[in-house]
Structure 1
Amino acid sequence: MKKKVGIIGLGHVGAHVAYSLIIQGIPNELVLVDPKEGKVASETQDLRDALMYCPHTVTITPGTYADLGDCDVIVNCIGDITLCATGNRLDEMNYTAAQVKSYAKKVKASGFKGYIVNITNPCDVITDLLAKEIGLPKGHIFGTGTGLDTSRLVSQLSQQTGVAHQSISAYMIGEHGASQMAAWSCVSFGGVPLSVLEKTDARFAFDKPELQKKAIGGGWVTYSGKGCTEYGICSTAARMVRCILNDEKRIMPASFALDGEYGEHDVFVGVPCLIGKNGVERVLELPLTEAEKADFHRCCDDVRKNIATAATIPAAE
């Protein structure tokens, strides 16, 4: 079975997504696309050099937007990480929205009918933009959203309690940005609600505002020391691709367009989604408290404002 994945943008994130995909043997074929031809050639060579020691064989080819037409999945990674130095993902928007508007029509013209996983920031806004520009069926375009932020929250919970990451159920939801929130009322450990455990075990008595702050700001801790983020986001995106290609039916946070769920419409935000061969196959509604619902609605309103701003940005020439 052909499993062909294209990657647009080969900066720190795109290159690491490519490596994560081949080291796990997720696709059979990988097509690399970037406005800089030299960058494409260099990354193709480096990845091919790694294949002898990888557990799987993957065909890696440099390509153009026209070569993406028969891909099963495209991972959109275009960006300029230096624009994030302020600590605000929205500062990338003037650049990334213009870039996406310039090449989305080329992706559409290629005849692409598969699935797009968007990483490019601001993630929710650019995912919305891709959906509007390319016009694929519902479920075919979604973003990494709060997937990485959720991992950061779970990491904090694991460090304090000693419980393995895989035994913790918790979600950051809303914007992949400053207004996102932790759904504390839905956190559980092996099925036991946090609200039960925190009454009897000091390890589960969390400073919730502080942990939420760390989950939101984790990316800037990484950025401050190395000038980029790589491993966490590439692992998040690679898992989403694997969910599609292997029809995993895995529930994980993704940026997706709400259509009545949580009382919201026509806005891309991070929520738990069931991901399988049909992309996002279902949005799962968490039983949020009234206070959490209010915070979530405010977050959605913030994203809508940014989507409106992105619509006014002209395409790059």
Structure 2
Amino acid sequence: MNAADSRPDQDGPENPANVSRETWTPEADLDTPIFAAASRATQVLHKNQRLPRPPHTRVFTVANQKGGVGKTTTAVNLAAALALHGLRTLVIDLDPQGNASTALGIDRRQAGTPSSYEVLLGEMPIREAIRQSPHNPNLFCVPATIDLAGAEIELVSMVARENRLKRAIDDLAGAEFDYVFIDCPPSLGLLTLNALVAAREVLIPIQCEYYALEGVSQLTNNINLVKAHLNPALDVSTVLLTMYDGRTKLADQVAMEVRRYFGDKVLKTMIPRSVKVSEAPGYSMTIIDYDPGSRGAMSYLDAGRELAERIGTEQGKGRA
């Protein structure tokens, strides 16, 4: 055996020069996106910050005639954000698709589930239809079932058909809800009309994409008609920009156009386009429960905080 064979392999682990310079250390994970998201999630879930309670229940109708603008997503995630900060929040699902109910963890497909259908038809007091979300003790829902699809036709022949939901919400006196969000279908039928008559404030989600204001002028005209003839207290108090993509000039242009149209009614917070936000309902969760450290969750928390801090401009003058 020659001398060369007796030396340690120069390419082997014994040679310090061949030891990886990327050896893991506990500090190595501190700058990763996963660690950053986990850190944010920890701050969200363990933060004891309390938002101010409104002096009276604020009842919002979340409406937009245009579909796919993040209407249901906005209703449930704002409700979850406020509930996380200790505010008692109720979501009334008036969309026959029932996506808001699903996102809040309510099994609406179970036979005999009390729903907004029975409430609208006067077959059940709204208190009996309220279900607590399994995700938060401050978050509640009046679910929608498939029966609601026929409510539009059944309501046509009823007396004071546009006031059915308002009378139901009036019966919540003493329930001590801080916020009520009514999720509407993307149309201006009797269900949406009931929501507009029952609320004091309208929240309009608008996506930062082409034709963002398409239909909004018609919606505001209809809101003004309801205000003139059925609900003098109704007003568009809040506009939220959704599906914002900061990489495009279009998103910024749309945001500027919406702010020029609605002025200071537009929240400063914008909700980014996010796969996580889209995934969450598939797991019967809001984004705040599904991925509390994500950009989408943080944005809805910021929007909820901003909404709560606008108490000085809130329109609701009577606790439900």
TM-score (norm 2): 0.36
* Structure with more contact order per residue of length (Cα contacts < 8 Å, sep ≥ 6): 2
TM-score by length of 1: 0.37
Larger radius of gyration: 2
